[in-house]
Amino acid sequence: MSESTLRSNFLSFTGRAKILHLTWMAFFVTFLVWFSHAPLLVVIQESMGLTDQEIKTLLILNVALTIPARIITGMLVDVYGPRKTYSAMLLATAGLCFLFALSTTFEMLALARFLMGFVGAGFVIGIRMISEWYPAKQLGLAEGLYKGMGNVGSAVAAVTLPTLALMFGGDDGWRYATAITGVIALAFAFVYYKNVSDTPVGSTYFKPNKSGGLELTSKRDFYFCLLMNIPMYAALAVLTWKVTGLGLLNDTAAYIIYAVLIGLYLFQASQLFKVNKELFEKPVDEILQYNFKQVAILSIAYAVTFGAELSVVSMLPLFFKDVFLIPVALAGLFGACFAVVDVFSCPSGGFISDKFGRKSSLVILLSGAAIGFFAMSQITAEWPIALAVATMMIASFFLGSAAGCVFAVVPLIKRRLTGQIAGMVGAYGNIGAVLFLTIFSFVSPSVFFLTIAIGIAFAAACAMFLDEPKSTMAEVMPDGTVQFIDVH
């Protein structure tokens, strides 16, 4: 099949392309609702009489649940399939959106935003859906298109919702604006459920043999997985520490949360052992094994790519304003260019991965991003502003392309566990954001960019140990026989 034919297939709305477009639209809607409050915070603060501290609390609560939610969502999608899981996610999204729009107290607002963190896990569902429909030679581009187009939801919210709020007017304009996004989610839940299927006709949807934790295939990988789970709880502990530092929690409450996090980690460890205890009794057949090292490397790569993206987007406008002494609106426009590049960079990274190999593409793109952020750390007021913006956009392109490259590999590790693997890798993206934003609170922008460059360089070094995916993947059929799936 020629490249022009492949491109035309992506642009159509039939067959697998229909699944791709409906799935990125579902992702788009979840992000539209998840970030619907951000551009309306000033209006919400005035309408509800909230303090600055309460507004900061809403921002933190909005992402607090996303880390564990991506792990849980990964398990659900592997067991129930993406069609049911995404439809249910959209229904829940609509309900939480209505709860937020109808809130009359800060406590109700806080509860709605805390639960809304679960909506940020919708991304994981589409990774499994698209991996079921697209062959490996197109998978990177398809996953990149899904990620790049879906991310636009937050930008559309920023552009449209303030205008909608003004159209409705009064103190309740923000309620109508956010409620409209809930109506969109509610309607699309039914559209998605009616128009997609988990697999093409005749294909088998492989499910995990056990639920409750990620299936592993060696004792070494079991201990490795326990180690890789620690940063998830550490990131939640850091968020708790930040909220305590803002004076929104007292020390006693913080210690209780820390104790709960330790308890949850131990519970997860026990569940992981329950799922994998047979590893300590007899080894897994070699043809059914996969290497957890792959998951760990991709998690680190996504932590520094998506984590850097989330943290940098929030500080770039102020950076340009302070360094080049330009108006706030212009600084915001320059800062937005960083996020806009993601629409093109994610599909580009996936395409590069499809064309030139998974491992080498990831190493090269991460190296380019590291160089780009090192260049950004050198930006001063003496630079021509056009050169500074160009440097930022080049760094953003390599960063987004590397992130797209990560999810070109995720579905090629173990088909029946794709949701859970995507959940862990996706959670590490949020862990990276927490880490980088915490560092930013202590250092200058130049040191911040340099820190990101060092982190990405470390990920590039780790990526050198990534194994190129095998040409076939062994999975157990429902009748107990082994089927080899061609992934090339």
The pLDDT, as a whole number, for residue 84 is 95
Confidence of residue 359 (pLDDT cuts 50, 70, 90): very high
Q: How far is the C-alpha of 58 from the C-alpha of 72, rounded, in Å?
A: 23
- Environment class of residue 289 by beta-carbon count within 10 Å: exposed (0-12), middle (13-18) or buried (19+)? middle
The pLDDT, as a whole number, for residue 27 is 93
CB neighbours (10 Å) of residue 15? 11
For residue 81, is it left (φ>0), alpha (ψ between -120 and 50) or beta? left
pLDDT at 453 over 60: yes
The pLDDT, as a whole number, for residue 5 is 45
What per-residue string of b and e applies to 139-158 under the rule 16 or more CB within 10 Å gives b? bbbbbbbbbbbbbbbbbebb
Q: How far is the C-alpha of 23 from the C-alpha of 337, rounded, in Å?
A: 25
Task: Give the chain's mean pLDDT.
Answer: 87
Ordered by where they begin, the domains of the chain are: 16-195 (1.20.1250.20), 219-474 (1.20.1250.20)
Residue 101 CB contacts under 8 Å (≥ 6 apart), including other chains: 175, 176, 178, 179, 182
The pLDDT, as a whole number, for residue 484 is 60
The pLDDT, as a whole number, for residue 460 is 97
Confidence of residue 3 (pLDDT cuts 50, 70, 90): very low
Percent of the residues in the chain that have a pLDDT greater than 70, as a whole number: 94
Q: What is the pLDDT of residues 295-340, one digit of tens each?
A: 999 999 999 999 898 888 878 888 888 889 888 778 877 877 887 8
Q: What is the pLDDT of residues 29-40, one digit of tens each?
A: 998 898 888 788
Q: How far is the C-alpha of 193 from the C-alpha of 47, rounded, in Å?
A: 37
Q: How far is the C-alpha of 344 from the C-alpha of 367, rounded, in Å?
A: 19
Which residues are 474's β-sheet partners?
Answer: 484
Which pair of tokens denotes residue 68?
């564990």
Cα 186 to chain centroid distance, Å, stands at 22
Please indicate whether residue 451 or residue 114 has the higher confidence score (pLDDT). Answer: 451
Q: How far is the C-alpha of 203 from the C-alpha of 81, rounded, in Å?
A: 13
pTM of the model: 0.88
DSSP string of 201-269, one letter each residue: TT------SS-SS---SSHHHHHHHHHHHHHHHHHHHHHHHHHHHTTSS-HHHHHHHHHHHHHHHHHHH
Q: What is the mean pLDDT of residues 387-406?
A: 94
